[in-house]
Structure 1
Amino acid sequence: MSGSIQATLERVIWTALTTRQAHLGQGDALARRYLADVAPFAALADETPAAYQALHALLQPHEQVALLSQDELSLIDALQATRLGLLHRMVATRAAEAGSDRGSGSDAALDMIRLGHADTDEMLELVQKTKPGPFGKRTPEMGNYIGMRDGGRLIAMAGERMRIDGYVEISAVCVDENWRGKGLAGRLIQILRGEIERRGETPFLHVFSENRSAISLYERLGFEVCGTFVLTRVGRAESGSAGA
């Protein structure tokens, strides 16, 4: 994996929130976050007490955001943290293995559809059932979303989330439990990957390090691990508690 790719994506949340997706966030030169109904992620310009104070000011009581970091966070007392786990960042670096993105029989005949504002309720329902990761009412505004239907019902989807110059994250990859194991996730990822690459950009994604089945799928689809990060949920400290 190229060191330049790792360096470019190392601060992807901050970069997205200060460039191509600034309109979907709020904050200042020290701390920024996505709007609550868009995504739960936030980032700091630098890990300093002043930046943490700025992040604190962006949070409502009992509200939490997620931060990516190389190491465990050193918070100020006004904040508290919950470590959620390790995330691998994977980047598309080579072609998919033959057959890794194909269904079979009638499954292969399912057509890809474009998803938009009118599909939001169905998208939220599918996310609630399948738990692919954070997804809010305005998350589809972050990029292009596609899916598949069976009998008019949304059974699979995937879309674009964080965007910076040259790179686009693939996210919200989910399939109804009755349709898993049929190659739908791989097909949707490859469709998005093709569209992203035709725009001259490189796809990447995030996956929990313990999710071996998903990692294996992404490797077959030509993605390679380019970094591992700590995912931490941060909120205002409750009265009488200290930062973790």
Structure 2
Amino acid sequence: MVNLEDQLKNPVWYSLKETHKKLAVVSDGVQFYHHEVCPFGAFFDETKTAEVSSEYVKKSDSFFFVSENQTPIIDKNNVVLDRKIDGCQMVLNQLSDVEITEDIVLLDESYIEEIYNLVWLVMPGYYKKRTFEMGNYYGIIKDDKLVAIAGQRMQTDLFIEVSAVVTHPNYTRKGFAKQLIAHNTKEILKVNKQPILHTNKGNLAIPLYQKLGYELTRDMNWWLFHKI
């Protein structure tokens, strides 16, 4: 079994090898999530990425290759680089003591539309309705509507990623994100897995993650491509 440190160097790859194997599209040394679930791909050998990505883009208008330090190769006749997002990985060291004052709900399939709409309101561009299949989602409900969530995305037998941490603009500055991240982290620890998360370098939320006990560990870059 691949150890945790090696898995964290290529989290998309190992998620698709283990927990999310049923969601994988595999071809010649490159792995993608099913295009209806999540637009992420991973590789070890960048010389394999051009041909496979040219096929994948026939079903998905855009996609990401996620890599710590490798640069994917593409066929410029079929695919073009939109932008490279300089990201970073954070790993929980020790969870800080956070008072949970809100009623946090494990969201079932009846919330799929609300989750989708809330994510696209706050962070448009990547979340798909079937992303819900990747892990548990927790939410806070106010005024009979879902106003804040924190979900789980990439995961293996050793780690689970906290993701889709969003709050409706009318309900910010109430500590909802902090409580949701803490609750989600505790749920991950209950199943004896390592909580991690990914974000953009310079994200204003990084100090919050650090206060909760997460530490910056490595770069994790997101190469966004779209078809021509």
* C-alpha spacing 1:125/1:23, structure 2 compared with 1 (3 Å): same
**What SS does the corresponding residue of 2:12 show, helix, strand or coil?**
helix
> For residue 153 of structure 1, what is the aligned residue in structure 2?
145
Which is further off, 144-153 or 39-48? Answer: 39-48
Which is further off, 193-202 or 131-140? Answer: 131-140
CA distance in 2, matches of 1:35, 1:29: 16
Tell me if the contact between 2:25 and 2:33 (Cα under 8 Å) persists in the aligned partners.
Answer: yes
**What SS does the corresponding residue of 2:129 show, helix, strand or coil?**
coil
The alpha carbon displacement at 1:112 in A equals 0.8
* C-alpha spacing 1:55/1:74, structure 2 compared with 1 (3 Å): closer
**What SS does the corresponding residue of 2:139 show, helix, strand or coil?**
strand
CA distance in 1, matches of 2:32, 2:170: 36
| Residue 52 (structure 2) aligned to one of 47, 50, 54 | 54
- 1:13-52 Cα offsets, whole Å, 9 max, x none, are 111112210211212242221122211111124111x342
Aligned length: 224
Identity across matched positions, percent? 28
> For residue 228 of structure 1, what is the aligned residue in structure 2?
219
> For residue 65 of structure 2, what is the aligned residue in structure 1?
67
Q: Does residue 85 in structure 1 map to residue 85 in structure 2?
A: yes
CA distance in 2, matches of 1:86, 1:24: 26
CA distance in 2, matches of 1:168, 1:218: 16
Correspondences of 1:1-244 after superposition (within 5 Å):
5-48=4-47, 50-60=48-58, 63-69=61-67, 70-78=69-77, 79-96=79-96, 98=97, 101-102=98-99, 108=101, 110-131=102-123, 134-211=126-203, 213-236=204-227, 238=228
Which stretches in structure 1 are left out of the alignment for 5+ residues?
239-244
- Residue identity matched to 2:211: R
Tell me if the contact between 2:23 and 2:37 (Cα under 8 Å) persists in the aligned partners.
Answer: yes
The alpha carbon displacement at 1:95 in A equals 2.8
**What SS does the corresponding residue of 1:138 show, helix, strand or coil?**
helix
Tell me if the contact between 2:49 and 2:72 (Cα under 8 Å) persists in the aligned partners.
Answer: no
The alpha carbon displacement at 1:204 in A equals 0.3
When normalised by structure 2's length, the TM-score is 0.90
RMSD of the TM alignment (CA)? 2.0
When normalised by structure 1's length, the TM-score is 0.84
- 1:192-216 Cα offsets, whole Å, 9 max, x none, are 11111111101000110021x2100
CA distance in 2, matches of 1:156, 1:77: 40
**What SS does the corresponding residue of 2:192 show, helix, strand or coil?**
coil
CA distance in 2, matches of 1:62, 1:31: 16
CA distance in 1, matches of 2:72, 2:212: 33
CA distance in 2, matches of 1:122, 1:29: 37
Tell me if the contact between 1:157 and 1:175 (Cα under 8 Å) persists in the aligned partners.
Answer: yes
**What SS does the corresponding residue of 1:149 show, helix, strand or coil?**
strand
**What SS does the corresponding residue of 1:234 show, helix, strand or coil?**
strand
Which stretches in structure 2 are left out of the alignment for 5+ residues?
none
Q: Could you say which structure has the larger radius of gyration?
A: 1
